[in-house]
Amino acid sequence: MQDISGKVAAVTGGASGIGRSLVKELLKAGAKVVIGDVEQSALDKVLAEFADLGEVTGTTADVSSLDSVTAFADFVYDQHGACHLLFNNAGVAAPSANVWETTPNDWAWVHGVNVMGVVYGIQVFVPRMIASGQPGHVINTSSGDGGISPLPYQSVYASSKAAVSCITECLSAQLQSEGTQLGASIFYPSGGLLDTGIWTTDRNRPEDLAREKPYDPVPTVQDFQVAAEAAGMTLEVQDLDELARYCLGGVREGRFVIMIGVEDAEATLQQRAQRIGRAELPIDQAEIPQL
């Protein structure tokens, strides 16, 4: 997908954070963009803000609901009759906790959005994209936390992102083996600390999936920076627009893994493989700042 100009792109979670920057850079590249987002106020704001950048529309979409994702796809195809770029980007997170202190609703909510949101996006969009016979690409947003090496206190979130990595690898292999015109990439937001809405996702947590027991306040980006510094680490904040441009560059080049500093991931995975080969715990807890 070397030429993005004139292509139709659907972006879930496109009204804030990384999704918002993806929408912005897609429009600047000449794409026609359709946003699906669960947050109506944020959606209205970004549609007004980006109206002069190009052709952008949007509708509310809850990616944890198959019916809602289907309605989003119908909206995209009613608007443009095609989808060439699908960004399964929406994501949420639960509070840090030991596995035995997480709750059923933590798992139901986070995996419902992060895992099933990707699955539903693939199931609803990809058959139509294949049937069109046109080149296309699916980009699934994962995380180095889970996709590369999990933070031990983020079991709910990390396991969901590990699942996204596995799903995307299978998807890419299947799209190739079936001889389709589609490709797939896994996008690991990277390059530094990410100041996005993932830190405050409780604002969109449904009442019926509220946490069953109290939890400590969720740390802010600033809290995380302080904790990292206390552990001897300095974390730079990554510019999200720059990150989005990097992602689109990876799509143009047809890279399966899109990640700033991917060579560091290679080193991490080699260390994990060595520990696994010794039948040891792959996680090096000494390197993880604890909040």
Distance between CA atoms of residues 136 and 252, nearest Å: 11
**Residue 207 corresponds to which tokens in the numbers above?**
């009442």
**Residue 34 corresponds to which tokens in the numbers above?**
């359709």
Catalogue the E-assigned strands of 146-244.
182-187
Task: Write down the residue that tokens 């960004």 correspond to.
Answer: 87
Query: Which residues fall within 8 angstroms of residue 63, CB to CB, at 6 or more apart?
Result: 12, 13, 36, 38, 69, 88, 90, 113, 116, 117, 118, 120, 121
To the query of whether residue 215 is one of the catalytic residues in this protein, the response is: no
Distance between CA atoms of residues 278 and 285, nearest Å: 17
Active-site option among 120, 153, 157, 246: 157
Residues forming the active site: 157
